[in-house]
Structure 1
């Protein structure tokens, strides 16, 4: 049984509460590790440590190039430990080893990319219109950053949030989900091995009301970056506003995956399956609404059901398994509840719709891949994020109708478009009210590409050069080169 500690100011330490809680394997139902139960006292220690590192320690004196070298070293260490970290994530959240292994092997690229950007943060000399004045701008780290990560891809979110923050010169306190804290605690040891000074990285685990809320409201924190549900994001936004913190929110989605009659249907079928059943549907970018042109709807859905039936459910550690368990007991109950809601609303279940049963599944939190047809876009199953392997099928006739249905939700994270018509693809990318549009592909991400949503899907962007701006403050500098005394000191110069 693994017994973890908090990581504060470069040291492992017991929580102030002297309490731990269990973390469970969602496949086996077994408790496999104990996670420290942090509280406000631990948060205060972590914020103080991060503040000292930011302003007084070796980190404050490092050049941007030196920071970049440390980040690239960290990337190397993650690459060396990718398989071990992936297995820990699977044990904690039940996602496929193939999925988490791919994420962890790709994780290093964020540290390499943003490590390369660390010494590319530049200001500008302004040819100011005032005589005998010099003026320029510079960019400085925003301060101590609170990074609150979700349970579905813990270390991927650590990279998305912390790599640009560290490149900007900030220090961070990571608060992972209480359901999936182990991999973050394992990761942070690598930051010490890479040579990061004490206090640059800190991890405080625990429950939202005891640690997350304290971190968001702490006056020593300058910036909050959060991934989670839109309801939780709204609460974070409101709490952070009381102390005027900067906030980035990567929240939920109800993404339309739109298939036109001229699409490559084989590719579209694979893209739809990937969009909703990969990661057991537990992803903010899940293509949970399939919009398919009515001229091909019946044929497409029949083929989709046939393909989805072949998905193997089981032990996520096995290479031939396609669908693993739901990560947490509350989420498992939520998914089953939405199946009941959809049936009560009049949607017709043509695949799945039950807790999965079979050999090796009895102890796990498994839900069958589920497809609903006869769905209207105003139904709850089409409007609310389920975060599970539940697909709603909605027909449309025209491009304009597809756009209207696609945009008629409170979310705006992502969308997929399947068509061979380049002009149509360009029109759709302009018209869809989302942060990311995939054309003839789905679930593609990169450290180079900004990611984030609009509407209730959040604020700000992660990854790409755009992410750096959320962790930098712009400062304007004015210097007079004149020895003359101003004529009237009471007027604006």
Structure 2
């Protein structure tokens, strides 16, 4: 395949730079997928200034025109979906089927749902009496800095771009260097639909990210990624009292109750654990099982996971792909290796589809870990990889306490034959989202659930009206009537 070249996008113009970084296929490291321009702090200044100038007129564009342009953007994404899916799978390692679903369902829905919500969200609220009236109006913030990760780049990009633009803001997106090509390609085509400067794309190292988050004309930073980076962003934003939105990591518990039908729940739980090879912020990271079901659950889970076929993301036979990058690959390997010094038992499962290519990619077999203590590292960390610990419990009170004993609070799930019982327990969990008899959003959930976490799993929300509210300021006007 030919190697593509991705430039910066500033004021609807492609900007070449002196340095380009290689993007390699994590499932076939010998393949260079493309070359991406590395920007500078000066490029950041150019992009933000262009976004600010565009904002001065874009904010006055009537809502119905902004809605129409976003509908065109959704249609463009539908048209480009097949080619984009291949590109993204080659750069981030995810299965092609997963990437197609990300684009055709989630990314496009993120735009369409936003447009639909906008029809009523921006209506003025007015109350009055004999002495006065009060109007509460929703105004755009200004230039938004959007920083997105590599695991689901298109949907996470659209979850920032759509609400930011519909509200009348402009946006500068910094894609992850581990998966910059798909997002950059579609944003360039989308940007052509909008006035110059409304959408800009910048690439680069940490100095570029810092220049973006500290720029005085950036009014809000929306970041999806890890907690350590978020802490740096928050410190950078503090000097100018910028608003921040963070969607961060999770250590999601799945709680299996004693009435659960294991034949039904095990495949669903395995999907919640190993989707994207465990590289999902709200993937199941730990499973709590009643003591008397522990051995049976472990056996059924291992049997199911053994059926996984590990291979390249474009291999149609593969049901499990590689990890995305060397750092995460090494972290998961080291985490698993340290378990050998404990009483835990680690079972590696699955079939290697391309054993000759195994060392040419970041491939790991999925692993199920049993006989772990509630406070062990594998239970308390966010592994962000295909290793899942099983923890036994005796009572519901005990399992709720264990599930909440972490500084993470993104997602969680409860599994039971009795939905009402599961719901009662779900309300005791410290999480931004809890799923019952599933782990992930239904289409209805994706449309209406505020997505985000509590504690160190984030600040603010995406999706729904709450997500739209992240991109507006309230302007209250009080008219005093003459007497």
Give the TM-score band, short-chain normalised: over 0.9
- Counterparts of 1:284 and 1:198, CA distance in 2: 34
Taking the TM superposition and a 5 Å limit, the aligned residue runs for 1:32-431 are: 32-56=33-57, 59-106=58-105, 107-120=107-120, 121-127=122-128, 132-193=131-192, 195-207=193-205, 209-352=206-349, 358-431=355-428
Question: Per the alignment, do residues 377 and 173 of structure 1 end up closer, same or farther by CA in structure 2, a change over 3 Å counting?
Answer: same
Asked if structure 1 preserves the Cα contact closer than 8 Å seen for 2:220 and 2:243, the reply is: yes
SS state of the match for residue 333, structure 2? helix
SS state of the match for residue 90, structure 1? helix
Partner of 1:458 in structure 2? 458
Asked if structure 2 preserves the Cα contact closer than 8 Å seen for 1:27 and 1:364, the reply is: yes
SS state of the match for residue 73, structure 2? helix
- Counterparts of 1:260 and 1:416, CA distance in 2: 11
Asked if structure 2 preserves the Cα contact closer than 8 Å seen for 1:145 and 1:224, the reply is: yes
Tell me how large the CA RMSD over aligned residues is.
1.8
- Counterparts of 1:431 and 1:8, CA distance in 2: 47
SS state of the match for residue 372, structure 1? strand
Deviation of 1:422 (Å): 2.6
Deviation of 1:61 (Å): 3.3
- Counterparts of 2:76 and 2:440, CA distance in 1: 26
Question: Per the alignment, do residues 384 and 244 of structure 1 end up closer, same or farther by CA in structure 2, a change over 3 Å counting?
Answer: same
SS state of the match for residue 297, structure 2? helix
When normalised by structure 1's length, the TM-score is: 0.93
* Structure 1: stretches of 5+ with no match in the other structure: 484-493
When normalised by structure 2's length, the TM-score is: 0.95
Asked if structure 2 preserves the Cα contact closer than 8 Å seen for 1:356 and 1:366, the reply is: no
Deviation of 1:440 (Å): 0.8
Larger Rg: 1
Deviations 1:110-156 (A, max 9, x none): 1112122334302222336xx74333211100111111001111111
Asked if structure 1 preserves the Cα contact closer than 8 Å seen for 2:305 and 2:350, the reply is: no
- Counterparts of 1:50 and 1:323, CA distance in 2: 40
- Counterparts of 1:148 and 1:192, CA distance in 2: 17
Asked if structure 2 preserves the Cα contact closer than 8 Å seen for 1:435 and 1:453, the reply is: yes
Deviation of 1:354 (Å): 13
Partner of 1:7 in structure 2? 9
SS state of the match for residue 296, structure 1? helix
Asked if structure 2 preserves the Cα contact closer than 8 Å seen for 1:250 and 1:452, the reply is: yes
Deviations 1:293-329 (A, max 9, x none): 1111101101111111110000111232111111011
* Structure 2: stretches of 5+ with no match in the other structure: none
Mean CA deviation greater in 420-429 or 287-296 = 420-429
Partner of 1:486 in structure 2? none
- Counterparts of 1:413 and 1:38, CA distance in 2: 33
SS state of the match for residue 357, structure 2? coil
